[in-house]
A and B are shown apart, each in its own frame.
Chain A
Amino acid sequence: VATTTTIVPSASPTSGSRSFLSRLRDGDEIVRLITFLFAASVVLVTVWLVFELWRESVLPRHKFGFNFFLTSVWDPVFDQFGALPFIYGTLVTAAVSLLIAVPLGIGAAIFLAELAPARLSDSLEFFIDLLAAVPSVIYGLLGIFIVVPLMRQYVQPALKQSLGFLPIFQGAAYGVGFLTAGVVLAIMIIPYIISVSREVLLSVPRDQREAALSLGATRWESTWKVVVPFARSGIFGSIFLALARALGETMAVTMVIGNTPVISTSLFSPGYSIAAVIANEFTEATGDLYLQSLIELGLVLFLITFILNGLARLMIVVTSRRGGQLGNA
């Protein structure tokens, strides 16, 4: 059975037995109030954010209603705004990036936490943290000058030749597009997945490994069947942290996605993401409807993040329940 440690709030056992004043004098109550305020501010900011986005997007919500999500024309001249291509682009690029980054990131984390010598692991961790701290515009430059030409000249023609029968690898290869944006995003989020997953794997109690080994498991079996499942929820956490960054990434994406609001099955096609269009058009958005439509896009992005986070929670709950049953059996 997995050992669970519950952190007991230190104030609660004593709170009844001492008077408010004495607690105040000791500082407990003050600290409790202050930290409560800090914690509450998170909720406050979130609610305020949604409220403002909602309030500032009243025109397009009334004019387009639910059609805002279903139409794909974005025309600032004739005041027609539909969010579908941007939603599509945001989800597709995030999905591509996760498809690349999750196996790579978790694989690297397992190596660093379980198989590599501690000294190597620690020094590599330094580089990974460094990568995680690089500003996104730098990744965008890397994308423009290295990934885009590579994609256009080598990767996309090769994919077309070998897997060209798949609809996702068809059409003109411009270099920029969903695939390139996904790859650049993957490069950006891998450090997050590695760094957090490694920490989680390292924090798995030694007993777990030793028990598995003493039962005759090989090193890999103990890693894959005991340590990784034990750390499962933490690893999921790292993936969702990465997903959140991929969804909201602006600068790097707009530099390599092609900035064209189209929906295409081909990953070679140029596209557009919500964050990119807001960054591109907000400063020069005159007309109220135009500006408010961009704000509504922000609301949509918030909604997407909210839904995906909810699904993530659900997934963690479901899988850890199953994991628990496995552990009991």
Chain B
Amino acid sequence: MKRIAGLLLVLFGLGVFVWAQGALSINGAGATFPYPMYSKWFDEYHKKYGNIQINYQSIGSGGGIKQVTEGTVDFGASDAIMNEEQLKAFQDKHGFGVLHFPTVLGADVPTYNIPGVDAELNFTQAAIAGIFLGKITKWNDPEITGPNKGVNLPANDIVVVHRSDGSGTTYIWTDYLSKISEEWKTKVGKGASVNWPVGLGSKGNEGVAGMVKQTPNSFGYVELIYAIQNNMPYGRVKNSSGAFIKADLASVTAAAAGAAKNMPDDFRVSITDAPGKTAYPISSFTWLLVPTKFSDVTKRDAIKGFVKWMLADGQNYTEALSYARLPKEVVAMELKALNNVQ
């Protein structure tokens, strides 16, 4: 009996040893918005390459930038690009840089609740900026009624709803507002949290959606995926070519394609208000943050391998989860940039 137990113990120990040797564990942390996509990808990748296990903690974009700078994770992820100051902090700490790799695309959509109005409303840039600056206060303001002929909009006060928690969704929204409104840019600016001129704050997409649903005459913004998955009605937004575009996966990818022509080599680009006839203007990339140097060669190759796979086969999983895929131009550029990771 004792002998069998001893044998089992040895076998078990051997198993652990082999398992520990075989599996390469890579850790990442950051943005919550692409988390469902990432966990699907990491899972599929693990199925394909059983020896590579990628763990991802969705702690938020700010946290992702912080953790990768601290060096506690192998890669970070963020919905907002790292600014010069953050890049410099990384460079100073490690002696090498960090690269941004776009993975998928997301978008913010305007959502509203006006009793008696079922129509899909059209919003101009001036209307959205005016409402969020508190300059347009009533639903029957000419700036709103103008592009919505035939819709009977009431003379009620608009209740603005925004996110209260710091989030990439807010970053995209305020980045867009900063581009279309000079006043917003100088007075409020862009960020994961800002000093809102008007409105009520709610926590998370579900908080904003719930508040808008509950409050008559309200206007807010949510993540496109959240709106699609919950069958929420949302409005069209006028793009830089003058067309009113409804956000969907194609129009978001079109925004990225429109921006690809002027894509900088480091991919640190905002694609809100992008050119292109069919481009949806409140779109954004979300990025992986990968250091340019790895001391562990197997780790480096595993991460590079994953990014390569994600850019090719991985993109086929995007639609099922309502994420917009990367345009071909961007994929080609990223494959080239991957060579800079050493």
Contacts and interface: CB of A to CB of B under 8 A. Distances in A.
Is chain B found bound to chain A in the same assembly? yes
A286 B62 contact: yes
B166 A285 contact: yes
A245 interface: no
Interface string A58-87: 000000000000000111111010000000
A78 B200 contact: no
A284 B165 contact: yes
A254 B203 contact: yes
Given A284-B166, A285-B166, A286-B86, A77 B201 contact: no
A73 B197 CA distance: 11
Contact of A172 (B157, B194, B196, B211): B157
A53 B342 CA distance: 40
B210 interface: yes
A227 B66 CA distance: 58
A261 B193 CA distance: 13
A272 B193 CA distance: 14
Interface residues of B, number: 33
Nearest to A290: B193
A284 B193 contact: yes
Contacts of B59: 283
DSSP class of A's interface residues: helix, strand, loop or mixed?
loop
B199 interface: yes
Interface stretch (B35-43, B184-192, B224-232): B184-192
A88 interface: no
Given A77-B188, A255-B207, A284 B195 contact: no
Interface residues of A, number: 30
Given A73-B195, A77-B195, A259 B164 contact: yes
A280 B166 contact: yes
A76 B194 contact: yes
A110 B178 CA distance: 59
Contacts of B53: none
A203 B193 CA distance: 51
B301 to A, nearest CB: 31
B258 interface: no
A175 interface: yes
Contacts of B201: 258-260, 270, 272, 280
Contacts of B195: 73-78, 80
Interface string B194-223: 111001111100010011001100000000
A260 B200 contact: yes
Contacts of A80: 195
A270 B199 CA distance: 9
A77 B177 CA distance: 14
Interface in A155-206: 172, 174-176
Interface of A: 73-78, 80, 144, 148-149, 152, 172, 174-176, 254-255, 258-260, 270, 272, 276, 279-281, 283-286
